[in-house]
Structures are given as C-alpha cells and as structure tokens.
Amino acid sequence: MITRRSTLIAGAALLATPALAQTFPDRPVRLVVAYPPGGNVDFSARLLAPAMSHALGQQVVVDNRAGAGGIVGTEAVARARPDGHTILITGTAPVSIFPVAMERLPYDPLRDFTPIGMTYRVPIVLMVAKDITARTLVEFVARSKATPGGMSAGTAGIGSGAHLAIELFNAGSGANLVHVPYRGTGPALNDLIAGNIPVVFDQLSSALQLHADGRARILGIASAARSRLLPEVETLREAGIVQPELSTTLGMLAPAGTPAPVVEKLRSAMEAALSEGMARERLMSLGAEIPAPAQMTSAHYGAVIREELEIYRRAVQLGNVKLD
C-alpha cells in the first residue's frame, strides 16, 4: 500500500511538471542576495534583474537577505519551495568555502540546490606596493623568501577567497608570505597605498583602478589566461604557481527538486541578461570573465562548484583555517 501510494504521488508530480513549466513564472521571481545592498553580488543582481524580467515576462525582484556572511539568505533559498520563484545569486564563499571551512552548516551546496548557471568569474590578483621592485612573479617569490620573517600579505579577512589563495600560492611557489587579515578589502588596500603593507591579494575589480592610477601595481593574476584589460600582467599559471584559476565565482542556484524545464527557463533568462550590451560591457569593464553560452549551463556550474570545493578544501587544510 505504501509502495503504491508513493508511486502514485511520484506519477502525479511527473504529470504536473510540464504544466508547471508551461505556466512558469506566474508571479514575480525573487532573486535572493545573501548580503546587504552595495556589494558585488548585489550590484550584479540589480544589473541583471531588469533583463531577466523582460525575458521571463515577470518581474525579477532583488531580495537582500543578509546575515552570517551569506548563510542566512543561502539557507532561505535551500528551504524555499522548488518551483523556480525563489532563486539565489551567490558568490564563492557560501557554496565553495564555508562547506569545507565550517564544522556545521545548515545546508549542503550539492544536495540542497540545483545549479542554474554560472554568471561570471572575477580573478584574484596579487597586488604590490609601489616600492616593490620585483617585475615578475619569479622575482617576487625570491624576494619573499629573502625577507626575514616573511613578507606580509593582506586580505579582506580570514577564510576569504584571497586568504586561501595565499595558502595555495605559498604551497605552489615556495613563497614566504604571511597572511594579515583585515576587516574588509578597503582597509587592506588603504594600507597598501600608504606603504604600510607590501602585498594585497584581492579581486581584479577592486584592484583595477589602483593599478591604472599607479597607486599600486598588479603583478600577477590567477586566471586561466591573461586579462584583456591587463595584457601585460602574467598569470600564475604562466609562472607555474598554484591552480590555473582562483576567483570569485558568481552563479545562480534554485532549490533542489526544481523541475528541469523551469531551471532551463531561468538559465535562458540569465543568458539573455548577460548577452545584453550594457550589462555585459559593464561587468567586463570590471574584470568579469563571462562564460561562453556553451558553458552557461546547469551542469557546468555544478562541475565548477565541485571543483572549487576540492581546491578550497586543500587550501583550508594548508592554512588550518576554521570558521565559526
């Protein structure tokens, strides 16, 4: 009897899926940002929402659900009804760092979500103060090794993607960099400009203007290929250091169990938004690497999350990083 009832329920769900996909969305879609207004994820959500609204025929409303470094909003989407009307736009930390750096997390990024697609990546860069004379990564590594006690390297904080990049950089190059955590990117960059710290690891988008103004210098970039915005800056891959890609990765997720046709409608709307001239050019001007349409898929973003989990698991072990 139980088996027969379960079979009937499953059959009813399968029959309902095409109808749901045809009518979706029948009301506004909530695009949850697990951070306060003003950051990169919020900026991206508000940039893409109008074009996604046009593609879906329903308004896409940005909903800031901040708390616990992104955990509150991420969990809210994991527990939401899997009908496509509540989705998440997220950065790297909630789905690729917290799961390997925290003992307890109220969601599992692989079990509790269905990937919609990767939005873009912003590479992490190694930035040095003006008085650092090293002109290549090889010279820089040699200088760090020769510095008594190591060379200080600032980041936005313990457990950030930039912090874990330092751990991987040291392991991959033999460099002697000592992590100095700040309370956010701004204070770290201010100290770099003032000459109070020689090195900062950060996102390309935050570092671009300082490099252009000559207030600091980007020495290396952790992307698969050189940035079109900085063709003169070598990649870590070229210098034989760490992973080919270390970045802040943005993507969209739906609750697990969201029907595949609904996910595809959301993915198609995301792709349309990223193809729109103004939004695309704005993101690319900030150093965003937007994937080709063939890579803007649910399967590809799922593979990226799994790859990042393993990369950051190793970095957490190297630095003995534990987040509360």
Span 123-235: which CATH code? 3.40.190.10
Tens-of-pLDDT digits for all 324 residues of the chain?
344 544 554 454 555 556 666 789 999 999 999 999 998 999 999 999 999 999 999 999 999 999 999 999 999 999 999 999 999 999 999 999 999 999 999 999 999 999 999 999 999 999 999 999 999 999 999 999 999 999 999 999 999 999 999 999 999 999 999 999 999 999 999 999 999 999 999 999 999 999 999 999 999 999 999 999 999 999 999 998 877 689 999 999 999 999 999 999 999 999 999 998 889 999 999 999 999 999 999 999 999 999 999 999 999 999 999 998
Q: Which two tokens stand for residue 138?
A: 């090889």
Burial of 22 (0-12, 13-18, 19+ CB in 10 A): exposed
Reported pTM? 0.91
Q: Which two tokens stand for residue 324?
A: 């509360």
User: 95 and 253 in contact (C-beta within 8 Å)?
Assistant: yes
The sign of the CA dihedral 30, 32, 38, 41 is: negative
Q: Per-domain residue ranges for the chain? A: 15-122+249-319, 123-235
Task: Name the nearest CA neighbour of 21 among 274, 212, 213, 263.
Answer: 263
Fold of 15-122+249-319: D-Maltodextrin-Binding Protein; domain 2 (3.40.190)
Task: Name the nearest CA neighbour of 133 among 68, 191, 52, 219.
Answer: 219
Distance CA 167, CA 189 (A): 19
Question: 67-86 burial, b if ≥16 CB within 10 A, otherwise e?
Answer: eebbbbbbbbbbebebbbbb
User: 71 and 34 in contact (C-beta within 8 Å)?
Assistant: yes
Instruction: Examine domains 15-122+249-319 and 123-235 and report if their fold is the same.
Output: yes
Decide: helix, strand or coil at residue 265: helix
End-to-end CA distance of the chain: 46
Q: Which long-range contacts (CB under 8 A, 24 or more apart) does 61-64 make?
A: 61/28, 61/29, 61/30, 61/31, 62/31, 62/33, 63/30, 63/31, 63/32, 63/33, 64/32, 64/33, 64/35, 64/36, 64/37
User: 145 and 176 in contact (C-beta within 8 Å)?
Assistant: yes
DSSP string, 64-122: E---GGGHHHHHHHHTS-SSSSEEEEE-HIIIIIHHHHBS--SS-TTTSEEEEEEEEEE
